[in-house]
Structure 1
Amino acid sequence: MATIKDIAAKAKVSPATVSRVLNYDKNLAVNDSTKRRIFQIAEELHYQKNKKVRKTNLKTIAIVLWCDREQEIKDLYYYSIRTGIEDQAKALGYRVQVYYESDSLDSLDKSIAIVAIGYSQYSQVRLNKIKTAAKPLVFVDEDTLQQGECCVISDFHSSIIEVIDHFLNHGQTKIGMLAGDLHNDYDKDNLLDFRFQGYKKYLQSKNLYDKNNVYVGKFTPDSGYQAMQEMIKSKNIPDALVISNDAMAIGALKAFREANIKVPEDISIISFNDTTAAEFANPSLSSVHVNTQEMGRAGMKILQDLLSDGIKVPYKIVMDTNLILRESSIN
């Protein structure tokens, strides 16, 4: 069985650093790339924490994710939401049980309530298991109010308008989008990505929408790179590009750099999430800051409300976003 020392040797960091990263020490001054490397090595070595068996009266909150551990590490957006939920749950005196994509949900009934991150990304079978657990339930990062479920979302409607208006104010009218979709059989004109839905609707209102300017990736740097290679080959280069997350934007920057397409002189880019990667990209990425940890905390606060019978009807919380302008856009 792999130990913390094994991980430390392979990651070329101290065992203390590995221990603090694996225990999500918020006071540890280690960059995200190092954290990702440690988690990836731990996964490769099949590391399992030594859990001491002790009696406890703490009640359990289930956190369900649509992705696996590797995907969560690659895009810290979901990691940040999860840690926000965990922090608030612990502050309220609960313990948490995390369920990733490949984990069985058969033990959900042992938890007193559920926070699910995402909604449309789940298979119908898995979604049914979450709902039929018949526990107080909150969805984070998708609007499920019409489905009769409490939820926490970010105000992507306003932010996408702000991004497009920024481009238009700088004379950039041919505005493309690199949207995200996890499926291979997507309809490029009707993607589930809610950032795309806002983009399409707003550009249509200005008679500027063209589906030929839409490209699709799977929220990863590699997929962003491949999608932009396709765009470059087509020679249909827009003035500006909205990208659904920072991870795909990193891949896009690589494709443009290899093709000698200058950012922002030849094409402006604004992405979403404003993770650490955005600030340290080259050029640094203009990005919409999403308050992911606060989304997680808010989801847990709704659960506490449901558990204490404070609210009898479903409701949603909409979190503010703000556009951070950096070097990848003309400002």
Structure 2
Amino acid sequence: MATIKEIATKAKVSPATVSRVLNYDKSLSVNDTTRKRIFEIAEELHYNKKNSKTRKAKLKTIAITLWCNQYQEIKDLYYYSIRSGIEDQAKRLGYQTHIYYEQDSLDDLDKNVGVIVIGKAQYSKERLNEIERIQKPTVFIDADTLAEGQCCVVSDFHSSVQEVINHFLNHGQKDIGMLAGDLADIYDKNNLIDFRFKDYKRYMTKLNLFDLDNVYVGKFTPDSGYEAIKNAISQRKKIPKGLVVANDAMAIGALKALRENKIRVPEDVSVISFNDTTAAEFANPSLSSVHVDTHEMGRAGMKVLADLLNDGLKVCYKVVLKTQLIFRESSIN
């Protein structure tokens, strides 16, 4: 694990600035470029990336598409880390990469030899049609597209959601809620796009413990997590003893809302989130989180694409990476 001092030294800022940036402190006067550099350095040190020799080969280009812009990307390090893994493995294999953010035109997408799509549910149908239209070898990461005839790399979130709920139950916390994610302004709270929510609802219903009033919704960002929990508290709603949060970014916002309202974590409310990004380690309190090796997801996605490009692979397949629940201060363990 990288220390705040190590990150600060490399970023040429103070340790206090690093701590506040990693906790998404909006009151800190620092520009987006500095924020982005701190997050990038934190992730680089977190994964202890080693310089490796690139194979000598023609530098063919791989397209990486994202559903967000470059500043949204660092608000949830999950996607940044996947991209970093893709780029790391592409370099090892002798490819260069071209990134397409949501605002970028896809007119020259067909100049790339292959495409890696990060996510899927967050894209518009039109955007996905543009990607499909070029008919280049394509791999999806963080989306199960096997049934649609596309190779993909995913993490085993299904069993991890159940593991989190069981952890709460084992500590006598039967009142279990969820802060789920949805990008839409208008959504059906009972049928959210968040696949973690679907697993949560399925398992809680099976246990006869599902209560829609215990479900809160944000947009996968710290601000939205903060607002969702703040609003729930202001409406005099009792926050469940166990809170499952769809990602670390929203969980950090939720922790802030709980702290401001004198709700103790984990004594009053235990919080467990997903992704275990660098920010989870430096949250206040540090976040228990389901570790997803996002960097390795990116590397695996590039390996699958290399199979398609170099071996002419005709059979579609899915790679599933195991997750691990990491316990820290935000939950009773």
Q: TM-score range by the shorter chain?
A: 0.7 to 0.9
Q: 1:236: how far off?
A: 2.8
1:125 alignment counterpart: 126
Equivalent residue letter for 2:198 = Q
Looking at structure 2, the residues matched to 300 and 249 of structure 1 have their Cα atoms a distance apart, in angstroms, of 30
Alignment pair present for 1:324 and 2:331: no
Looking at structure 2, the residues matched to 182 and 133 of structure 1 have their Cα atoms a distance apart, in angstroms, of 27
Looking at structure 1, the residues matched to 75 and 11 of structure 2 have their Cα atoms a distance apart, in angstroms, of 20
Alignment pair present for 1:282 and 2:270: no
Equivalent residue letter for 2:33 = Q
2:33 alignment counterpart: 40
1:95 alignment counterpart: 96
Looking at structure 1, the residues matched to 35 and 135 of structure 2 have their Cα atoms a distance apart, in angstroms, of 34
Task: Report if the CA contact (8 A) 2:120-2:143 is conserved.
Answer: yes
Equivalent residue letter for 2:105 = S
2:296 alignment counterpart: 294
The residue matched to 1:74 in structure 2 has which SS? Answer: coil
Looking at structure 2, the residues matched to 241 and 233 of structure 1 have their Cα atoms a distance apart, in angstroms, of 17
Alignment pair present for 1:164 and 2:157: no
Q: 1:308: how far off?
A: 2.0
Superposition TM-score, scaled by structure 1 size = 0.84
The residue matched to 2:204 in structure 1 has which SS? Answer: helix
Looking at structure 1, the residues matched to 151 and 20 of structure 2 have their Cα atoms a distance apart, in angstroms, of 31
Task: Please say which of residues 227-236 and 243-252 is displaced more in the overlay.
Answer: 227-236
1:140 alignment counterpart: 141
Q: 1:185: how far off?
A: 1.6
Q: Which ranges of structure 2 fall in alignment gaps of 5 or more residues?
A: 1-7, 13-17, 25-29, 37-56
1:180 alignment counterpart: 181
Task: Report if the CA contact (8 A) 2:176-2:242 is conserved.
Answer: yes
Task: Report if the CA contact (8 A) 2:252-2:283 is conserved.
Answer: yes
2:244 alignment counterpart: 242
1:82 alignment counterpart: 83
2:51 alignment counterpart: none
Equivalent residue letter for 1:82 = R
The residue matched to 1:272 in structure 2 has which SS? Answer: strand
2:68 alignment counterpart: 67
1:51 alignment counterpart: none
Task: Please say which of residues 305-314 and 152-161 is displaced more in the overlay.
Answer: 305-314
The residue matched to 1:253 in structure 2 has which SS? Answer: helix
Q: 1:283: how far off?
A: 1.2
Aligned pairs, how many? 294
Q: 1:41: how far off?
A: 5.1
Following superposition of structure 1 onto structure 2, how do residues 110-121 of structure 1 map, counting pairs within 5 Å?
110-121=111-122
Describe the superposition over 1:51-83 as per-residue Cα deviations: whole angstroms up to 9, x where unpaired. xxxxx9411100000010011111111110001
1:264 alignment counterpart: 266
1:230 alignment counterpart: 231
Task: Report if the CA contact (8 A) 2:19-2:282 is conserved.
Answer: no
Equivalent residue letter for 2:246 = S
Task: Report if the CA contact (8 A) 1:172-1:240 is conserved.
Answer: yes
2:45 alignment counterpart: none
Describe the superposition over 1:228-277 as per-residue Cα deviations: whole angstroms up to 9, x where unpaired. 01221232321110001111111111111111111111111000111121
CA distance 1:38–1:111, change in 2 (3 Å)? farther
Percent identical across equivalent pairs? 65
CA distance 1:39–1:229, change in 2 (3 Å)? closer
Looking at structure 2, the residues matched to 298 and 195 of structure 1 have their Cα atoms a distance apart, in angstroms, of 22
Describe the superposition over 1:87-116 as per-residue Cα deviations: whole angstroms up to 9, x where unpaired. 111111111100001000010010000000
2:41 alignment counterpart: none
Task: Report if the CA contact (8 A) 2:116-2:138 is conserved.
Answer: yes
Task: Report if the CA contact (8 A) 1:140-1:153 is conserved.
Answer: yes
Q: 1:31: how far off?
A: 8.1
Looking at structure 1, the residues matched to 93 and 136 of structure 2 have their Cα atoms a distance apart, in angstroms, of 18
Looking at structure 1, the residues matched to 108 and 314 of structure 2 have their Cα atoms a distance apart, in angstroms, of 26
Q: 1:42: how far off?
A: 9.3
Task: Report if the CA contact (8 A) 2:58-2:94 is conserved.
Answer: no
Equivalent residue letter for 1:174 = D
Looking at structure 2, the residues matched to 89 and 320 of structure 1 have their Cα atoms a distance apart, in angstroms, of 22
Superposition TM-score, scaled by structure 2 size = 0.84
Stretches of 4+ aligned residues off by more than 6 angstroms: none
The residue matched to 2:74 in structure 1 has which SS? Answer: helix
Q: 1:145: how far off?
A: 1.0
Q: 1:329: how far off?
A: 0.6
